[in-house]
Amino acid sequence: MSAEYATFGLAPAIRAGGVLANGDYQVHRDFVDFIVDGRPLLFQLSDLDAVSPLASDVPPAIFTAHVQSLLLEADAPLPDGRYVIYGCPECESLACGAVTAAISSDGPDFIWRDFAWQTDEHVDLELNGYHGIGPFRFQGAEYRAALASLLDEAPAVGRRRVLLIGARVALLAKLAAALRTIGIGADITRDADGVPADELKAYGAVAFGRAVTEEERAAVRSAFDRAGVEVAYVDGLAPIVPLLVAQIEHALDRSPVQQRRLTRLVAADGEAGVEVTSPCRVRLTAYRLDRLYRTHAHEVFDGVLEAGRHRIALDAKAVKGESFVVARTSGSVLVEAMAR
C-alpha cells in the first residue's frame, strides 16, 4: 500500500478532570498520546473526549500488552486487524465508542489506515470511517523506538497528588474530597516542616489558601527546595471548590505547551478571550461571590470553536462583582479572574 511517510512520536497528555457547574464530576486521566507529524493525532479527529490505551492508571501487565499489540507482537483485539487508538475515558467498553484503525507492517514500516468510529466488533468504513485521515506510514525504527521506550521505564506523567495548605479546614476537606473523586490524591496540612523528603516527592502541586501568609508560603517552598522536589504552586483565587479544582488541574498538566488545544484565556470588560489550536468544544463557566460570600455558577458558553482566537461576550449578571472564568476542553483547563 502506498502512503506518505509520517513522523511518529509520543507525548504525555491528560483528560482534564473537574467538578462541573451542574455538580457532575469528570475523572482525571493521564495517558500517552500519539504525535503524528508533530501534532497530537487526537486533534486531527473530530472533537472527542477520549484517551489512548496507554494510560498511566492501567495495570502494568495490561499497559505492556497494549504496547506489544501496537508493535504487532500480539494478535489484533478486533477483527480485520483493527486496534483501539482512542477509547472512552471512563471505562474500556467498546459500546461507548472508540476510534480504531487497521495496523499492519510493510517490510520494516508500520502502516495505520482505515480510521473509524466503532461501537461493536465490526465496523462500516463507508458509514463510520474517518475519511481523509491517513493512511500513515511510519518508519519502523522510529516507531519501534518510541513504543519500546514505554517498556523500559514508566510513562512520563505528572504526580497526581496535591498538598493543600490553608486556614479553612472545612473548605480544604471539601476540596480534598472533590479531588479524590476525580482521581487526584490530596492531603491537608498547615505547613511542610518535618515532612520527610520521600513524602514530598509524591506531590505534583501545592495549593495555598488565600489566608496563608507570604512567610508561610516561603517556608513551604523552602521545604520542597531542600528536598529537591519541583512542584507547581497554586494560589487559590477564591474559596470555591470547582474553581480550585480547575486551578489544580491546570497546574498538574505536564503535556507540552505547544501540543495543547486550549492555549489562552483572558477575562475582562465583560468578555472572554479564548485561543484554541484546533477545532474543539469549549465550555466557559463563570463563578462569582456575592456580598455574603455565597457562590454562584453560570454556564456562559458551550460550543465548538474553530482554530484561532475568539471573543465571547459574557452575561453581565454572571460576572458581577468578584468573579472568575474557567475555560475547559476535554484535555485542558484555564482559569482567570475577571479583570475590572
Hunting for cell 488565600 — which residue is that? 210
- 139's grid cell: 518508519
Give me the pLDDT at residue 248, please: 95
Give me the pLDDT at residue 263, please: 94
> Any idea what DSSP says for residue 60?
H
Q: Which comes out higher in pLDDT, residue 166 or 47? A: 166
How sure is the predictor about 1, in pLDDT bands with cuts at 50, 70 and 90? very low
Longest dimension (CA), the chain: 70
Between helix 60-70 and helix 140-152 the angle, nearest 10°, is: 170
Boundary of a domain, candidates 120, 152, 184? 152
Asked if the structure places residue 119 within a domain, the reply is yes
Give me the pLDDT at residue 153, please: 64
Kindly state the percentage of the chain with pLDDT values over 70: 97
Give me the pLDDT at residue 218, please: 93
Q: Is residue 155 predicted with pLDDT exceeding 60?
A: no
Quick one: 37 and 142 in the same domain?
Answer: yes
Give me the pLDDT at residue 311, please: 96
Domain count within the chain: 3
Measured CA to CA, the distance from residue 69 to residue 295 in angstroms comes to: 49
pLDDT tens-digit series, residues 234-280: 999 999 999 999 999 999 988 888 889 999 999 998 999 999 999 99
How sure is the predictor about 321, in pLDDT bands with cuts at 50, 70 and 90? confident
> Any idea what DSSP says for residue 210?
T
Q: Is residue 157 predicted with pLDDT exceeding 90?
A: no
How sure is the predictor about 292, in pLDDT bands with cuts at 50, 70 and 90? confident
Asked if the structure places residue 313 within a domain, the reply is yes
Boundary of a domain, candidates 131, 152, 173? 152
Quick one: 284 and 321 in the same domain?
Answer: yes
Quick one: 93 and 169 in the same domain?
Answer: no
CA 245 from centroid of its chain's CA atoms: 13
Quick one: 91 and 147 in the same domain?
Answer: yes
Boundary of a domain, candidates 104, 136, 152? 152
Asked if the structure places residue 293 within a domain, the reply is yes
Asked if the structure places residue 3 within a domain, the reply is no
Quick one: 226 and 281 in the same domain?
Answer: no
Asked if the structure places residue 263 within a domain, the reply is yes
Quick one: 70 and 99 in the same domain?
Answer: yes
Measured CA to CA, the distance from residue 298 to residue 120 in angstroms comes to: 38
Give me the pLDDT at residue 193, please: 75
How sure is the predictor about 213, in pLDDT bands with cuts at 50, 70 and 90? very high
Quick one: 294 and 191 in the same domain?
Answer: no
Quick one: 267 and 250 in the same domain?
Answer: no
Asked if the structure places residue 1 within a domain, the reply is no
Q: Is residue 95 predicted with pLDDT exceeding 90?
A: no
Q: Is residue 10 predicted with pLDDT exceeding 70?
A: yes
Quick one: 13 and 144 in the same domain?
Answer: yes
Quick one: 221 and 134 in the same domain?
Answer: no
Average pLDDT, the chain: 90
Give me the pLDDT at residue 121, please: 87
Quick one: 148 and 165 in the same domain?
Answer: no
Q: Is residue 281 predicted with pLDDT exceeding 80?
A: yes
Residue numbers of the domain that contains 78: 8-152
Question: Which of 22-26, 110-114, 168-172, 241-245 bottoms out in mean pLDDT, i.e. has the lowest?
Answer: 22-26
Give me the pLDDT at residue 160, please: 81
Quick one: 141 and 57 in the same domain?
Answer: yes
Q: What is the CATH number of the domain that holds 187?
A: 3.40.50.2300
Hunting for cell 496563608 — which residue is that? 212
How sure is the predictor about 59, in pLDDT bands with cuts at 50, 70 and 90? confident
Closest CA to 331 of 98, 99, 13: 13
Asked if the structure places residue 2 within a domain, the reply is no
Q: What is the CATH number of the domain that holds 274?
A: 2.60.40
Q: Which backbone phi and psi does 95 adopt, to 5 degrees?
A: -60, -25
Asked if the structure places residue 47 within a domain, the reply is yes
Q: What is the pTM of this model?
A: 0.87
Give me the pLDDT at residue 154, please: 52
